[in-house]
Amino acid sequence: MTLIKSISGIRGTIGGPVKENLTPPDVVKFTTAYVRFIAARCHDKKPTIVVGRDARISGELVADLVEGTLLACGADVINVGLCTTPSTEMAVITYRADGGIIITASHNPRQWNALKLLNSDGEFLTDSEGKQVLAMAEEEDYAYPAINAIGHVVSREPFNDRHIAQVLALPTVDVEAVRKRRFKVVVDAVNSVGGIVMPELLRALGCEVVELNCEPTGEFAHNPEPLPQHLTEISQVIVREKADLGIVVDPDVDRLAFVSEDGSMFVEEYTLVAVADYILSLKPGPTVSNLSSSRALHDVTERYGCTYHAAAVGEVNVTTKMKEIGAVIGGEGNGGVIYPELHYGRDALVGTALFLTYLAKKGLTMTQLRATYPSYYASKNKIELTPAIDVDKVLREIKTRYANEQVNDIDGVKIDFPENWVHLRKSNTEPIIRIYTEAKSMEEADALAQRFITEIKTICQL
């Protein structure tokens, strides 16, 4: 199958040959390299690493391998068990650990798992740091510590409750305002760790919760990526239950999508837009999203007389840009909200609390709030990579063909036309070329996508 090493960590399918999949030897190899990288920054101090995982079927298997390897390398371990990605990040910060490993393949199907690697700030390693880890993984002269120098498990306790408390303590989260609205909310947690956390958060906010796919079995009830075509069940339940809204998270709870009271998609691109609208109303300042995100954030930011900035795809690229310009809010159009007042990481918990606060204060329904934003429609497509496809050649050719347009090549090629845009890039997480387009109608977005898919196939002679 596939083993992918990128800015998003070490990701692969379970089972199969070593070096081609995420097998036990591969888990040990990359965990060893990571802890060596972290230990080099700790000087003479024994490193402490936080380990958390989502509810994937392979999660316990991989977590045991990771924990054992960390101990064998002389690191102490804080094991937070079933834990969301943002909660694991917050645990690194709260415990002042030296790093963290999150065992999750995010939105990928059940056969996938991954090691997401964090620094001492609870943030993902940069591209250059990741490359150092990959280089160390290929070294064969490492000697593991003797018995007196092995690590110990410092604790095994959940952290999700502490994360919820930290979210609710934010000055921008008005718990009483949300409680007064008494929202009825349907939650679809795709049978992963969100099924533990999201209902608890919502009940703390005074919401009536209808649980859907909230058993953390790892048996995903539908494709785990929170896209409209995968969310027909929750739409039906919202209407049947006469709920105020629906909330959907991915398996590790860093992506957040909303569904309106009539069962229509609020659209995950607008998760960040709505939260940014709220934050900008309190504290005007710069905003950031990645190149594949909706133009709507740019429009809303300009309403407040503030400046919008684009970053390359990848959470660490967005957070780097946010720090550089002092952004008050940022994230990714896939439903990833990054609120620096809490931490620099995509966080569906803080996104939910901020969104519900804004919805409560505005006194609007979901469909009414959605109508206040510019209407753009995104078409997200992909082409499976084969040996016949030279991605770099494709991107160079496209860039040359459209040299007279507004082109950004910091991450693949994005072409901003006056009324729409297209972004072509090689995925960090799957063996595919992504073709994202956005326009003022779905038909126009789809047509633009098909036009570029045809161009790519022509260039590759497929």
**Residues known to be catalytic:** 106
Mind spelling out the 3-state secondary structure of the chain? CCEEEECCEEEEECCCCCCCCCCHHHHHHHHHHHHHHHHHHCCCCCCEEEEEECCCCCHHHHHHHHHHHHHHCCCEEEEEEECCHHHHHHHHHHHCCCEEEEECCCCCCCCEEEEEEECCCCCECCHHHHHHHHHHHCCCCCCCCCHHHCCCEEEECCCHHHHHHHHHCCCCCCHHHHHHHCCEEEEECCCCCHHHHHHHHHHHCCCEEEEECCCCCCCCCCCCCCCHHHCHHHHHHHHHHCCCEEEEECCCCCCEEEECCCCCECCCHHHHHHHHHHHHHHCCCCEEEECCCCCHHHHHHHHCCCCEEEECCCHHHHHHHHHHHCCCEEEECCCEEECCCCCCCECHHHHHHHHHHHHHHHCCCHHHHHCCCCCCEEEEEEEECCCCCCHHHHHHHHHHHCCCCEEECCCCEEEECCCCEEEEEECCCCCEEEEEEEECCHHHHHHHHHHHHHHHHHHHCC
Residue 14 has a CB neighbour count (10 Å cut-off) of 20
Sign, CA dihedral 306-307-313-319, equals negative
